[in-house]
């Protein structure tokens, strides 16, 4: 098993991220013995009955999907904790993908003003991105992650064993986030992804564990400096501004990672047009996405829906803070971008 440490400077808090294989059953048993509570994705529960707790008083089954990433779902988790005697020193263990993790973490941050949280991501998207960094949140009236908190977990447990049950679509849905973080932080890591495409698509264990650990380390290095996203952490939003418009316009039929892939292309088009990046960087990003089979163009159904980006949590009165991959994969934040300038690219 490999690990890395996240040191949050602002709150002087540290926690470990563990990456390995076939260790999760022992860790779940550990938390069961300590009367912890679990928010468990229903699909994961059906696939992994041998390692998942079955005690109904300790387990809240969560139905995944953007439609359930809501305040109502949060209230149900909070009620579950209250009705089953959770206390201020209790631990909530989230087992599932990004939607499960975001919603459970939001509930943990609110219950009795915050109880311990353990993240067990079961999708590649959650492993390389959403389980690390402390962002929690739910959607409000179609606006993605419009309500949330910053709340760091006590630890993150990443077991590559869970990758075996992902469909190809789910797998690529997560891999887009690894491409994103490489594109704004580390050209050498980006090249590693390019050089290992065949191993990545074959889900070779040693490559995936290295890939996941590196993505976590890169994200941790940003979060450590800027927990509340007031500066450098905005770089991690590369592709996400346009992605949120695409997700809204498609009524979330376009999955998050695929929307991010297209978002990276459109936002790179903007960066190229305005001189923030060069053709070499633009082409490297687009070519890798094409090789992996991502769509790189989107036809909006309703331009008004695309304007969801103007209500994005990264927006302010002057415009949007747009993160892009600059020359040589050095991230750049462009402030006060008008939503119409982005929409006009479609």
Do residue 137 and residue 251 come from a single domain? no
Full-model pTM: 0.89
Is 266 within 8 Å of 282 (Cβ atoms)?
no
Same domain, residue pair 26 and 85: yes
Q: Specify whether 162 is located in the same domain as 198.
A: no
How many beta carbons lie within 10 A of that of residue 58, not counting itself?
Answer: 18
| 311 burial level (CB within 10 Å; 0-12, 13-18, 19+) | middle
> Within this chain, do residues 282 and 160 fall inside the same structural domain, yes or no?
no
Residue 119 falls within a domain, yes or no?
A: yes
The string of pLDDT tens digits covering residues 199-209 is 999 999 999 99
Side-chain-side CA neighbours of residue 340 (13 Å): 1
Alpha helices in the chain (DSSP H): 24-33, 42-47, 71-83, 98-110, 124-125, 168-185, 187-195, 197-201, 205-225, 240-249, 256-273, 279-292, 303-306, 339-343
Q: Mean pLDDT across the stretch 118-146? A: 91
Looking at the domain assignment, is residue 50 inside a domain? yes
Number of domains in the chain: 2
Clarify whether residues 7 and 148 are in a common domain.
yes
Instruction: Output the pLDDT for position 227.
Output: 84
Q: Domain check: are 206 and 259 in the same one? A: yes
Task: Out of 166, 181, 215, pick the residue that ends a domain.
Answer: 166
User: What is d(CA 36, CA 345) in angstroms, rounded to the nearest whole number?
Assistant: 49
Q: Which residues of 146-183 are buried (b: 16+ CB within 10 A; e: fewer)?
A: eebebbbbbbbbbbbbbbeebeeebbbbbbbbbbbbbb
What are the phi and psi torsion angles at 316 (to 5°)? -140, 180
* pLDDT beyond 90 at 80: yes
Q: Give the separation between CA 313 and CA 146, rounded to whole angstroms.
A: 6
| Mean pLDDT, residues 263-275 taken together | 96
Q: Is residue 176 part of a domain?
A: no
Stronger pLDDT, 204 or 55, i.e. the higher one: 204
User: Is 126 inside a domain boundary?
Assistant: yes
Give the pLDDT band (50/70/90) at residue 343. Answer: confident
Q: Are residues 6 and 137 in the same domain?
A: yes
Let me know: does 162 contact 23? Beta carbons within 8 Å: no
Contacts of 289 (CB under 8 A, 6+ apart): 176, 179, 261, 264, 265, 296
134 shares its domain with 227:
no
Q: Are residues 224 and 157 in the same domain?
A: no
Q: Which range in 129-133, 211-215, 245-249 is most confidently predicted, on average pLDDT?
A: 211-215
Half-sphere exposure of residue 187: CA atoms within 13 angstroms, side-chain side:
11
- Residue 37's CATH number: 3.40.50.1970
Nearest by Cα to 307 from 344, 266, 252, 257: 344
- In degrees, rounded to 5, the angle at the alpha carbon of residue 316 between the alpha carbons of residues 267 and 126 is 55
In terms of domains, do 257 and 153 share one? no
Q: Where residue 5 falls among pLDDT bands split at 50, 70, 90?
A: confident
59 assigned to some structural domain = yes
Picking from 166, 182, 215, the residue at the C-terminal end of a domain is 166
Check whether residue 123 and residue 269 sit in a common domain: no
Question: Residue 279: what are its φ and ψ, rounded to 5°?
Answer: -65, -35
- 157 & 223 share domain: no
Q: Which domain holds residue 43?
A: 2-166
CA 304 – CA 92 distance, rounded (Å)? 39
Q: Which of 147, 166, 185 is a domain's end point?
A: 166
Examine the pLDDT at 211 and tell me if it is beyond 60.
yes
Cβ atoms of 117 and 37 closer than 8 Å: no
- Domain membership of residue 274 (yes or no) is yes
Question: Among the listed ranges 148-157, 184-193, 294-303, 314-323, which one has the minimum average pLDDT value?
Answer: 314-323
- Which tokens sit at 191? 């090249």
Q: What is the pLDDT of residues 291-337, one digit of tens each?
A: 999 999 999 998 877 876 766 555 566 788 899 999 999 999 999 99
| Within-domain flag for 187 | no
User: Is 206 within a domain?
Assistant: yes
- pLDDT value for 3: 82
As annotated, the active-site residues are 113, 135, 177, 219, 229, 233, 237, 240, 244, 256
């Amino acid at each position: 098993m490999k690990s890395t440490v996240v040191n949050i400077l602002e709150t002087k808090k540290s926690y470990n991220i563990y990456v390995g294989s076939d260790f999760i059953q022992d860790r779940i048993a550990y938390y069961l013995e300590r009367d912890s509570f679990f928010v468990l994705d229903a699909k994961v529960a059906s696939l992994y009955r041998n390692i998942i707790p079955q005690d109904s008083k300790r387990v809240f089954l969560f139905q995944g999907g953007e439609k359930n990433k809501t305040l109502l779902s949060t209230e149900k988790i909070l009620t579950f904790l209250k009705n089953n005697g959770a206390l201020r020193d209790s631990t909530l263990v989230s087992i599932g993908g990004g939607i499960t993790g975001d919603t459970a973490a939001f509930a943990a941050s609110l219950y009795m003003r915050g109880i311990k949280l353990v993240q067990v991501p079961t999708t590649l998207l959650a492993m390389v991105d959403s389980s690390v960094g402390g962002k929690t949140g739910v959607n409000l009236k179609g606006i993605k992650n419009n309500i949330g908190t910053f709340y760091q977990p006590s630890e993150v447990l990443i077991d590559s064993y869970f990758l075996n049950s992902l469909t190809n679509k789910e797998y690529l849905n997560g891999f887009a986030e690894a491409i994103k973080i490489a594109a704004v932080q580390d050209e050498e890591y980006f090249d590693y992804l390019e050089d290992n495409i065949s191993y990545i698509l074959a889900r070779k264990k040693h490559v995936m564990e290295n890939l996941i650990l590196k993505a976590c380390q890169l994200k941790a290095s940003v979060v450590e400096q800027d927990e509340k996203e007031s500066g450098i952490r905005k770089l991690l939003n590369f592709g996400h501004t346009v992605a949120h418009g695409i997700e809204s316009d498609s009524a979330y039929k376009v999955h998050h990672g695929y929307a991010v892939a297209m978002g990276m292309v459109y936002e790179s088009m903007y960066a190229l047009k305005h001189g923030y990046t060069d053709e070499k960087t633009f082409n490297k990003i687009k070519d890798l996405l094409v090789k992996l089979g991502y769509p790189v163009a989107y036809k909006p159904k309703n331009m008004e829906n695309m304007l969801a980006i103007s209500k994005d949590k990264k927006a302010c009165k002057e415009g949007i803070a747009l993160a892009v991959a600059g020359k040589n994969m050095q991230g750049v934040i462009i402030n006060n971008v008008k939503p119409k300038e982005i929409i006009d690219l479609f």
